[in-house]
Structure 1
Amino acid sequence: MRRITIYSPNCYTYGAMTVGGVLKEKFKDRYDIKLVRHLDNNTLNLFLKSDIVILSLYSTLHILDNKLKEVIEFVRKQSKKRDKNIKIYVGGPVSAYPEVILGEMKVDGVILGEGEISTPNVIEGDREGLAYLENGEVVINELKEKPELISKPLIPKDIGNQNIRGANVYIETHRGCLGNCTFCQVPRFFGRRIRSKPLELVLEEVKEFKRKGAKRIAVSGGTGSLYNFKKDVNKSAFIELLEGIGNIVGSKNLSVPDMRVDYVDEDILDAIKRYTIGWVFYGIESGSDRILKSMRKGTNREKNLYAIQLAKENDVKVGGSFIVGYPGEREIDYLLTKDFIVEAELDDVFVSIAEPIPKTELCNLVLKTPLEENLTFKPHMGGYRRFNLTESEARCLDLMLHGEQWKPKPSVITKKKFLLYLNETKRQGEDIRNITRLIFRYRNCLM
């Protein structure tokens, strides 16, 4: 039997598992489907025994991974020596910018869009839904069709050993987002129309994940409460979803990590309190209305504070995520974010430096900003100067420390914790600079 190996770096993403499930169902008598997450000697041997290798990549940084590039080159050489034509394709969210992948990685093609339809096409030898190089030129065969969300994922036997922010797996309940945030890839990749998976199928999947050893489940899909969302209709579908999953895994083993402040109300928060671990995570991003408008968040400081207070009144703990170093962020904008954290008293704070994901509006803004004016390249000359940080890195570190001090129960900043945040900040800064250099190399096809 022929073999297809799907590699999902470091973790089994739901997208990789979904594609694996589709291929297993369609080609069960022709291909043995394997799903792996570690790039080690066992995986390398598996690649060499495969007829098709699919790299399911979810971060721009994967495109820059030199170890992965070396593995691709090694497989190509060994394939030639053994007179075996192993096909290597890239899929996943990075497929939104195939020109970059084909310029950086020696693969046979990029599987475009949502993989349920395009991947089987490619396996069958069809080029619909595939981008590839032909005579040095990039050929892109877009697949316009949007799949129904009815596929069953291929669940690995070791799913219970996986840990992604405390959960064994992030399940997908719907695709699409009504938002229009400039830094987010979701509306572009999945569209703005909400497509939801049938409740019965979601619950069946949760039971199967539990049988395979998964204990902690997180509901993904961008904004959880958009599940089966229709205007002027109550939120009963989302509440029923949480109740159903909570009854299977237990409320202590279910989380809903990502929510928009403009799609929560008392009923939703009550359901989160009753059926989940009792946390909600809002994408606040900034305390400056000017920056929020630039990000097209569709919210403002007042709405964000109201949603936080509403959650607290319903006895739900609140985490907030923030972005620093956004193009045009002034010192006053950053100080307004610090003031917001003081007023909000969040139970947890997550800080990241603005990442220009290719083909997002943020990417275009970064490409229009000279590097000497980019805060992730501009040296910091203030209080953290001795740590050789850029302005974005200094704000990231400072906001992490500030968030710890303004929790309802403030945390002591030990030397160990300080160094942990400092190293995390430097890692983020270096990653964003590498991505920025990458998009500048391909600016002609990204803008």
Structure 2
Amino acid sequence: MRALLVNPSQLRAYGVRLSTPYPPLGLLYIAAVLRRAGVEPTFIDADLAGRQGVAGAFATLNPDLVALTATTPVFSDAEALAWQAARIAPKALRIIGGPHATADPEGVLRSGAFHAAAIGEGEETVAELVGRLRLRPSETDLEGIRGLWFRRRGDGTIVRNPRRPLISDLDNLPRPARDLLPSLASYSPPDARRSPVATIMASRGCPGRCTFCCSPAAFGGLVRYRSVGDVVAEIGEAIDRHGAREIHFADDSLTEDRQWTLELCEALHRSRFPVDYMFMNGLRVDRVDRELLESLRSIGMQNVGFGIESGSPRILANLRKGIDLDQAFDTIQLAKALGFATWCYFLFGSPGETDDTALATIDFAKRANPDFAKFFVFKPFPGTRAYRELAASGHLVRYDPDRTGIYTAPVHRVDEMEPERMMYWLRRANREFYLRPGKVIDHLRRIRSLTQLRLNLRSLRFVAGMMLRAA
């Protein structure tokens, strides 16, 4: 049996042209599961190989199974690749997983490009699917495979198999098949200080109930951790076998279990790996304290990011964020004092947004003064509470999945703010935060290497572009 795993172009995920940032960890886990099942997979990345390179892989391999993954903004690219597979390798079963398939499996299947959609965690679902196909290679009825929706052959009826329970022991999963990548150095994480970078997921899930987040739909608000020993062993493998010089944690909520996090820091401190560590995502300000941050700093963690979202308590309540702004301010100051590069994330255009709440967000960002403030327009993704509420109220005025990348223009309006006004506040926030003389001098003082100079110049170009973007 031949399986081809395809990572679609990630350009629409951002809405601006960036170097291919990270390898698709989810597909690499699927590849490892296929190997365990006795299937040697092939992997190809559309951003690295190009559309013609993917077409060549379809023709050369003539696969029995084509698997893709997609977030909402890149779904149309995944769909186009699936149709390409249908033309070149028509006997292949085409399946899609990832956040968008989990959020909207019916819409995904009604597109006609895919035979099946994996919902939630896909590893055990794909393993069962492969076993079914091997036993009955001519059988297309996939009924009974939990976590899989599919179109029945003939009439196209969508069969909705039950959800699959979450994987109870993450240590049972094989390590991601990083050897299938051209190299780790093929990817260019925008905030990396050293290359190559390996991404690690030590846990899955987040307990938060933020209205704009897809995590509850995928993981049900639970956080499950791998054992500390398993995580440390994977980091060692990424260094020894793949040459990683920096480790980026991709977890949604790594510090939710305080004791587990302290034990991880202790184990990494003992290991003395010759790498730096960074967080890809934000931490919750109410899930860290001085001891925990000091432990993270002691192992070489370079940055911490915090999802603040708004400087308005009313907007935070609307978002069900569940944080206190005074605590957020104090946590940011503590992180700065401990020597972390500090990042904060803010949104404009959240439900209930007004000019006053947008101004409060800029004021908080300037007062807290993290090293970097990342300002975004609120994006309602399928499967989230925010999407359902905005759709029901008729506020999705410009909705197009292709335009839901994080740096793209708004696809919605709120009662007291039109899309153009959201973009005004986005530009104003970047201008007021970054063009302060003290902030410019601060960034110049922090430059200690050519790598840091390169990162600062890249950030400057990016922020300048954001200030000039039209709605």
Q: Flag the 1:268–1:416 CA change in 2: closer, same or farther, 3 A.
A: closer
In the superposition, relative to structure 1, how do residues 278 and 35 fare at CA in structure 2: closer, same or farther (>3 Å)? same
Alignment of 1:393-412 (within 5 A): 393-406=423-436, 409-410=439-440
Contact 1:379 1:391 in 2 (8 A): no
Change (3 A) 1:63 1:415: closer
Which residue in the other structure is 1:255 paired with?
Answer: 278
User: What amino acid does structure 2 have at the position aligned with 1:53?
Assistant: V
Please state how far the C-alpha of 1:142 moved relative to its aligned partner.
Answer: 2.7
TM-score of the superposition, structure 2-length normalised? 0.78
SS in 2 for 1:333: helix
The one-letter code sitting in structure 2 at the alignment partner of 1:4 is: A
Q: What's the offset of the Cα at 1:277?
A: 4.2
Return the offset for 1:403.
2.2
Distance 1:53 1:416, change over 3 A: closer
Q: Could you say if the C-alpha distance between residues 239 and 288 of structure 1 is closer, same or farther in structure 2, counting changes exceeding 3 Å? A: same
Read off the aligned partner of 1:161 and give its amino acid letter. S
Q: Give the deviation of 1:94 after TM superposition.
A: 1.8
Taking the TM superposition and a 5 Å limit, the aligned residue runs for 1:47-446 are 47-48=58-59, 49=61, 50-57=63-70, 59-65=71-77, 68-80=78-90, 85-96=91-102, 97-125=104-132, 126-127=142-143, 128=145, 129-134=147-152, 135-147=155-167, 148-150=169-171, 151=173, 152-155=175-178, 156-167=181-192, 168-210=197-239, 211-226=241-256, 229=257, 235-240=261-266, 242-243=268-269, 247-250=272-275, 253-257=276-280, 258-371=282-395, 376=410, 390-406=420-436, 409-410=439-440, 419-422=464-467, 425-426=469-470
Residues 209 and 105 (structure 1 numbering): CA distance in 2 closer, same or farther, change over 3 Å? farther
How far did 1:364 drift?
A: 1.4
Look up the equivalent residue of 1:391 and give its one-letter code: R
Question: How many residue pairs end up in the alignment?
Answer: 401
Going from structure 1 to structure 2, the CA distance change for 1:222 and 1:295 (only over 3 Å counts) comes to same
- Name the SS for the 1:40 alignment partner: helix
Which one is further off, 265-274 or 400-409? 400-409
Aligned partner letter, 2:165: E
Question: Deviation of residue 405 (structure 1)?
Answer: 3.1
| In the alignment, structure 1 residue 43 sits paired with structure 2 residue 54 | yes
Question: Is the Cα–Cα contact under 8 Å of residues 349 and 413 in structure 2 kept in the other structure?
Answer: no
Would the aligned equivalents of 2:311 and 2:363 in 1 still touch at CA under 8 Å?
yes
Cα distance in 2 between the residues matched to 1:344 and 1:60: 32
SS in 2 for 1:409: helix
Partners of 2:411 and 2:148 lie apart in 1 by: 36
Residue 181 to residue 337, structure 1, CA distance change in 2 (3 Å):
same
Distance 1:75 1:116, change over 3 A: closer
3-state SS in 2 of match to 1:166: coil
Aligned counterparts of 2:164 and 2:460: Cα–Cα separation in 1:
53
Any idea what the Cα deviations from partners look like across 1:334-379, whole Å, max 9, x if unmatched? Answer: 0111110121111101111111111111111221343488893689
Distance 1:182-1:378 versus aligned 2 partners, 3 A rule: closer
SS of 1:206 mapped into structure 2: helix
Q: Is the 8 A contact 2:430 2:467 kept in 1?
A: no
- For 2:447, the equivalent position in structure 1 comes to none
Query: Which residue pairs with 1:445 in the alignment?
Result: none
- Alpha-carbon shift at residue 69 of structure 1 (Å): 3.4
Instruction: Note closer, same or farther for the CA distance 1:236–1:44 as it changes in structure 2 (3 Å cut).
Output: same
Higher relative contact order (CA 8 A, sep 6+): 2
Q: Percent identity?
A: 22
Runs of at least 5 residues in structure 1 that lack an aligned partner in the other structure? 381-387, 430-447
CA-to-partner distance for each residue in 1:151-188, whole Å, 9 max, x for gaps? Answer: 21111241232122334232100012121111111122
**Residue ranges of structure 2 left out of the alignment (5+ in a row):** 11-21, 133-141, 399-408, 444-456
Tell me which moved more, 411-420 or 266-275.
Answer: 411-420
SS across alignment from 1:335: helix
Q: 1:300 to 1:373 in 2, by over 3 A?
A: farther
| Structure 2 residue 3 is matched with structure 1 residue 4 | yes
Cα offset for 1:417? 6.0
Q: 2:324 and 2:344 mapped to 1: Cα distance?
A: 14
Distance 1:160 1:291, change over 3 A: same
Q: Distance in 2 between matches of 1:407 and 1:33?
A: 53
Q: Which amino acid in structure 1 is aligned with residue 340 of structure 2? A: V
Q: CA deviation at 1:121?
A: 1.4
- Distance in 2, Cα, partners of 1:422 & 1:275: 36
Please tell me whether the aligned partners of residues 377 and 390 of structure 1 are also in contact (alpha carbons under 8 angstroms): no
Give the letter aligned to residue 352 of structure 1.
F
Counterpart CA distance in 1 for 2:222 and 2:463 is: 43
